[in-house]
């Protein structure tokens, strides 16, 4: 049985009873946007930053959110409180709403709001031992075709890359852009470490990741950072490689296309950033209110996102 609570257009349901119409354009065409948000120890990490990004995604596809930000924030907090979970994962969505079988967005009657509160586990013990990766044969959808800052409901490009990784016995897939530079993993940003310097792939063709932003904040004053394009060969020659994302958190990559990265084990910079990231997310964020408290919680100790 599915765990958690789901909010759908004004009502709360047990996770296994939540439904949307088969005529919803989010289902029919991937016409909508979403976020992935983690909460730890009863605090939602960077809630307001995630809400800002979701409203930006909606604006970029011309979808008017059906609720104002303050109300949406309340819905997320209430859904999380109703779940009873202390650690978990939130998946808020805006869909274009129910329409007909034509793709014209004007046919959708009104946008829908969904907030899923459940749990997620992507890499398990591989956070400790490290992931294997392949380089996907297909390329990342170019920004000329779809703005990478739209976190849309259509993830088929990413799913096909992940499917290729599965078929080839790897944990993850790395997508290159049309110029052969590293774009991202199937749902994560990518970093490399060389000579104590942390290299971040730019976000010209990948989502501006909130976990990525957090890692750059944690590097400040501790490790030099360079944000610049690099080919996959750059990863092969690096001492460390790691990926970041809300769902996947911070995960070392120790093998790419059968090539060992560094000594084939998670490196000291990755380990340090991973440790400090988990300390941060487990101690800061917006507190989840007690049911019926009527509180309007504010963020506690969370650093300002850049």
Alpha-carbon distance of 116 to 35, in angstroms, equals 10
Alpha-carbon distance of 169 to 131, in angstroms, equals 11
Alpha-carbon distance of 187 to 208, in angstroms, equals 11
Q: Which residues contact 24 (CB under 8 A, 6 or more apart)?
A: 95, 96, 97, 98, 99, 112
Catalytic residue list:
151
Terminal C-alpha separation, the chain? 39
Q: Is 57 helix (H, G, I), strand (E, B) or coil?
A: helix
Inter-axis angle of helices 69-83 and 47-60, to 10 degrees? 130
Q: Is 222 helix (H, G, I), strand (E, B) or coil?
A: coil
């Amino acid at each position: 049985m599915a765990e958690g609570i789901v909010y759908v257009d004004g009502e709360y349901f047990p996770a296994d009873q939540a439904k949307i119409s088969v005529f919803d354009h989010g289902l029919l065409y991937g016409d909508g946007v979403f976020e992935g948000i983690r909460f730890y120890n009863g605090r939602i990490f960077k809630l307001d930053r995630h809400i800002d990004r979701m409203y930006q995604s909606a604006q970029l596809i011309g979808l008017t959110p059906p609720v104002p930000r303050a109300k949406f924030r309340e819905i997320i907090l209430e859904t999380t409180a109703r779940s009873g979970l202390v650690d978990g994962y939130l998946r808020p969505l805006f869909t274009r709403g129910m329409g007909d079988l034509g793709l014209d967005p004007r046919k959708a009657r009104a946008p829908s709001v969904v907030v899923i509160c459940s749990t997620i586990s992507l890499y398990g013990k591989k956070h400790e031992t490290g992931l294997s990766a392949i380089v996907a044969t297909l390329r990342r959808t170019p920004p000329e075709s779809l703005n990478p800052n739209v976190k849309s409901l259509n993830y088929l490009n990413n799913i096909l890359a992940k499917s290729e990784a599965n078929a080839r016995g790897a944990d993850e897939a790395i997508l290159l852009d049309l110029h052969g530079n590293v774009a991202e993993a199937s749902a994560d940003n990518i970093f490399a470490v060389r000579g104590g310097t942390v290299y971040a792939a730019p976000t010209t063709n990948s989502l501006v990741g909130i976990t990525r932003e957090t890692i750059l904040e944690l590097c400040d004053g501790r490790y030099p950072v360079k944000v610049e394009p690099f080919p996959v060969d750059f990863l092969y020659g690096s001492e460390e490689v790691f990926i970041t994302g809300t769902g996947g958190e911070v995960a070392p990559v120790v093998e790419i296309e059968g090539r060992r990265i560094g000594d084939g084990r998670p490196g000291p910079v990755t380990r340090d950033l991973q440790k400090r990231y988990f300390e941060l997310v487990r101690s800061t964020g917006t507190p989840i209110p007690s049911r019926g408290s009527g509180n309007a919680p504010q963020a506690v100790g969370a650093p300002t996102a850049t």
